[in-house]
Every structure is written in structure tokens, then in C-alpha cells.
Amino acid sequence: MHSCRNNVRACMKSSHRSFRRANAGARHLTVLIVCLTLAMASCGGNGGAGSQPSAKAFSISSVSAVCTPSAISVNATSQCNAVVQGTGGFSSAVTWSANGGAINTSGLLTAPATASTLTITATSAQDSTKSGTATVSVQASSSTITSVAVMCNPSTVAVDATSQCKAIIQGTGSFSSSVTWSASGGTISAGGLLTAPAAAGNVTVTAASVQDTTKSGTASVTVQSAPSTITSVAVTCNPSTIGVDAASQCNAAVQGTGSYSSAVAWSVTEGTINSIGLFTAPATAGSVTVTATSTQDASKSGTATVTVQLQTPQSKHLVLVMEENQSYATVVGNTADWPNLNNLISSGALPTNYYADSHPSIGNYFMLTAGQLLTTDDNSTTVWNVDNIARRMLASGVSFRIYAEGITRGYLGGNTGLYLIRHNPFAMLADIADNQQVANQCIWPFSQFATDLANGRLPEFSFIVPDVDDDAHDGTPLQADTWLRTNVIATLSNSSSFASGGDGILIVEFDEAADTDTANGGGHVSPVFWGPKVKVAYTQTSTTIYQHQSMLRTVMEALRLSNPPGDAASAPSMSEFFLQK
């Protein structure tokens, strides 16, 4: 107010001097009014006795921040404070922020987990253009491992069972919780899964700190023997099909729980079996049940079936002689016409249920060699390219010869003299008929048979074809019987292959019965087996019906040629007529 009055006096004094110089009364009044107006403005009044001074504006001049302490460890805290300066009615409120860690509204900073330098900012809530900062240094604290504790759940397990183990690590600073697992028995994974050993006992599980290997913890797991049970017994025998008196190895697979025993006791319905499962077949054919029974639990057992089959013995000297057109009834027991053959029957084996396949002859010859009739035309000279015994013998290296009366070596022509080509099916099979070199090796005049036998060069398979006078086709049965005795039986009787201990087999075969007998296609006939491997004075006891395809199968079995061709593949074997070893 004092300065206000001084300003008015100065204005009035100045205006008085001006008025005196100007000597103008009206101008003096104007100047006075101006001075009064200025006085009112400078004194803050409006000329009224009760007027108030006007409000003055605020401003934020500065913000500063300070944090205590300014150096902390990771994850530790520091209290930050802000000092705000300004004019007028300013506010001291601020908002806090940090470039790491976390800070609350009160300025409490929590450091991050890693060492760093943090910038803390306090910004005026009233004027966001005004802020202040502080720096806090975050330092990594030194870490130590103080203890390692181990727990395993469950703490008691059965043998081979599992238990999950866990490690609890205590320490200071940024310590590592990693451990290395070990166990005094069984196995333990990197994740602490213990697999108990197969024997009962106590297992010590250890977890060692990776950061400080001097720090470790242990837990004990008790391993108990689990109660054992037998759940199943399975049996296998190899081979599952064997000959009489042959052997098969049987094995038992025992399944169970706990520490069960795999021991079994063996038994069989026939034959014998030893303690390790070696089965010896009986002397008769049939099915044998092999049983393995658990010694721990006799209520648990398993079985396997072994098929015991009669076997055709192997022969390196098999001779087959063909006879013609005679029925069983006119041969067997007819000692007037067939004395030598009946004598052979008494020392050999006789199939009583054997039938030819067709009439006339030719189809039966092909059934004996190819397992098929192929044709029933006796006049046919067609060469057949089909699977047959000659093809199998050539492929397997089995030596064979066809000894035929009335022809020369390698002869592949048709009927000549008393020789009929239809009685020699090999001359109409492509494997020989289309290859003269093979024909020269395999087809011989019958006179060569005695020479080969005398020189010990008899092949593994001999097929003998008498002429039509000597095979009972055109000649008399007695003539055929006499020829058989003189040229075949007598000479073979002097061979070591047909003596005791030898492997010789003689088969006297009839192609067909009389035309009036059509039973099973070709009528009832009487083949005869003879030799050291043939049962003596044996007459068929089975009810099996045999035909030429069975004879082909049996011949190939004796020669150890597998998978006989044509109908022979499914025909029954004639092994019942042979001794079994």
C-alpha cells in the first residue's frame, strides 16, 4: 500500500508541472483522472473500500529422487523418496517407475534376480514434464549350499518295483537346486526314479549337489521280496512232426509274478521225455501230448502236441519192376501162376487195399511218374512237359536209369517188337524225350541192369520195363513170374544192398487190374515191397486206400525228394510197410 501511495504522489506531481507549463485547466483535470485510475490499478483495488487482492498462479520447478541404500543385492529392496520444488499452490505427489525389478507407489524398490544398474524415476503428478532420477546398483550375492535332504515315496517297495525320490536343497544367494542321483542297488534315473533290484534288502539313495559336491543327502528304501505266483505255462516242441522213435526238443515258457520258479516237470502220453524236455517218440504213429507242469504250482501246466508219423526209410538202391493187367485175386495166393511173387510176399510186405487209377494202361504209368493221368489213350505218343519224378531227380542229382527190354540205349521212338512205349512213360516226358543227351544217360536196354548191378553201379532209382511177353501182358503169368525171379529177384538177392543192413527196396508193381475190375478207377491190384528195410511177412493193417499216386509219393520219400508232383502231393504215404527206426 505504501508503494501504491508513492506512485499516486509521483503521478500528481508530474501532472501539476505539466498543467502549469500548459496553463490549461481542462488538461489538468484529464491528467488527474489518469493518475487516479493508475493508482487504483497499482493498489489492487477497484475503488471500493472492501475489495480483495487477485490469486497468484502455481509452478513445479524441480523434482529430485534419492534411494537408500543405493547398492543392494539381487531380490533385495531400497526405499526411494522424491523432493518436489515449485511456486504457488504446487503438489508434491509423484509417480514412480524403474527400468528393472519392481517399485510400488510408495517408492519401495525390489531388485531383480540378476545383477544390473537400475534407473529409478519420480515424475511430478502435477506436471509430467518435471521428473527426477536416482541410480541403484544391483549386485549378485554369493551363493552357498547349506543342506541337501532326500525323500523317496514309497519308502518300501517290492523287488523290481519303483519309488520316486526328490531332493530338497537349501542355500544362500542364487544357489543351484540341481543334484546327481546314485543308488547302492537297482537303478535310478536322472529324475530320481528308483527301480529296485531283483533281490530284497535296503537301498541307499544319494542326491549330491551339482554346485557343491561336498553337500549331499540320503534316504533309505526297503526292498521286500514280492509274493510269487505262477500265471501260465506254455509248451513248444520242435519239430512238431517226427517219425517213430525220433526225437523232438520241447521247451516250457513259465510266466509269473515275484521271484517265481521256472522249473517244470515233464510228462507225455506216449514215448518218453527226459528232465530237460527231450521227447523220444514211440514206435507207433499217432498224436502225443507233451505236458509241462510247474514245480512251484502244480495247478499250472501247459501242453503241446507232437505228431508221430511212420517214416519211409531212405534208399540209395530202389528198384521198381512193372507187371501188367493182373487183379489182386489172380495173384495173391495163386502159387500156381505166381509162385515166386507169392514167396516174395511171404518175406516182404503186401498192401491189401491198393487200386489202380484207370483203364487202360497209359494213364496209370503217368500217375506213377507225374501224379496225373494225362491221357487214357494207349496209342498216344504225346510228349508231356509237366512236373514229374524225372525232373526232380535231374534237378536234385539223384541218379536213375530206365532198363527196358527190346530197345537200345537212348531210344525215344515208338513201339518196336515186344516193346510198347506206353509202358515207358519216361520216353514221353519232355525232360528226357526232348533231350537226347539226357535220354542217352537214362534209357538203357535191360541187359545193362545185370552189368550195373554186378559192377556196383546200380543207380539210386531203377525203373524196369519187361517186354509184353515177360510182364504178363501177352505172355502167361507164370512166364512173367519166372522172368521176375530169374532176372530181378535172384540177382538182387546176391547184392549187399539187399542183404541185412542194406538199404535196397524192391517194388513189384501192377499197372492195372483186369478190364472187368473198375474199382476206384483201375481195379484192385497187389504191389509187393521187399528188402532189408521192409517189414517181413507184413500184410496191410490200416484201412487206408492206396493208389499209384501213393506209390509215387513213397518212392520220392525214399529218394528224399520233397513236394511230390500232382496228386502224389496229397496222397497218403505207404510208410506203414517199412521198418521204423
Tell me, what's the pLDDT at 564? 97
- How far apart are the C-alpha atoms of 557 and 315, rounded to whole Å? 9
First to last CA, the chain: 152
Per CATH, which fold does 65-139 belong to?
Immunoglobulin-like (2.60.40)
Residue indicated by cell numbers 537214362: 442
Which CATH fold would you assign to the domain 229-309?
Answer: Immunoglobulin-like (2.60.40)
Evaluate if pTM is beyond 0.75: no
Given a cut of 60, whether residue 119 has pLDDT beyond it is yes
Task: Name the pLDDT band for 419 (thresholds 50, 70, 90).
Answer: very high
pLDDT (tens digit, 9 = 90+) per residue, 279-315? Answer: 999 988 899 999 999 999 999 999 999 999 899 999 9
Whether 154 shows a pLDDT value over 60: the answer reads yes
Of 192, 112, 196, nearest to 148 (Cα)? Answer: 192
Identify the sign of the CA torsion 342, 344, 346, 351: negative
CATH 3.30.70.2740 fits 144-224, yes or no: no
Measure the CA angle with vertex 361, ends 356 and 365; round to 5°. Answer: 75
User: Does 65-139 match 229-309 in CATH topology?
Assistant: yes
pLDDT of 211-267, one tens digit each?
Answer: 899 999 999 999 988 778 999 999 999 999 998 889 999 999 999 988 789 999 999
* 284 vs 346, more confident: 346
Beta bridge partners of 82: 65
Higher pLDDT, 374 or 309: 374
Spatial distance between the Cα atoms of 58 and 465, rounded to a whole number of angstroms: 143
Degrees to nearest 5, angle at CA 364 with 359 and 365: 135
**What average pLDDT is seen over the chain?**
90
Q: Taking 50 as the threshold, does the pLDDT of residue 10 lie above it? A: no
Report residue 454 as a C-alpha cell: 554186378
Q: Strands, E, within 159-271: which ranges? A: 162-172, 179-183, 187-188, 193-195, 201-209, 216-224, 229-238, 241-243, 247-257, 264-268
Please name the amino acid found at residue 352: T
Phi/psi of residue 211, each to 5°? -75, -40
Q: Give me the mean pLDDT over the 547-564 stretch.
A: 97
Q: What is the pLDDT of residue 75?
A: 86
pLDDT tens for each residue of 461-502: 999 999 999 999 999 999 999 999 999 999 999 999 999 999
What strands, in cross-sheet order, belong to the sheet with 241-243? 241-243, 301-309, 286-294, 264-268
Superfamily of domain covering 321-577 = Alkaline Phosphatase, subunit A (3.40.720.10)
At residue 367 the predicted structure's pLDDT band, cuts being 50, 70 and 90, is very high
| % of the chain with per-residue pLDDT over 90 | 81
From CA 62, how far away is CA 513, in angstroms rounded?
A: 138
Q: Is residue 425 within 8 Å of 365, Cβ to Cβ?
A: yes
Q: pLDDT band at 155, cuts 50/70/90? A: very high
List the one residue out of 554, 552, 529, 574 whose CA is nearest residue 350.
Answer: 529
- Tens digits of per-residue pLDDT, 58-102? 899 999 999 999 988 888 899 999 999 999 999 999 999 999 999
The stretch 571-578 carries a mean pLDDT of 96
For residue 258, what is its C-alpha cell?
515275484
CA–CA distance, 368 with 283 (Å, rounded to integer): 30
Average of per-residue pLDDT across 449-459: 97
Each residue's pLDDT tens digit, 28-59? 444 444 444 444 444 444 443 343 444 448 89
The pLDDT of residue 3: 44
Q: What is the pLDDT of residue 298?
A: 95
What does the buried/exposed string (b/e) look like for 338-365 if buried means 16 or more CB atoms within 10 Å of the residue's CB?
A: bebbbebbeebbbbeebbbbbbbbbbbb
Q: Where are the domains of the chain?
A: 2-42, 65-139, 144-224, 229-309, 321-577
Instruction: State the pLDDT at residue 244.
Output: 87
Interacting residues of 580 by C-beta distance below 8 A, sequence separation 6+: 243, 244, 245, 283, 310, 311
pLDDT on residue 72: 87
Residue 258 confidence (pLDDT): 81
Cα distances from 581 to residues 106, 249, 346, 575, in angstroms, run 107, 18, 22, 12
Residue in 539, 546, 543 with CA at minimum distance from that of residue 570: 546
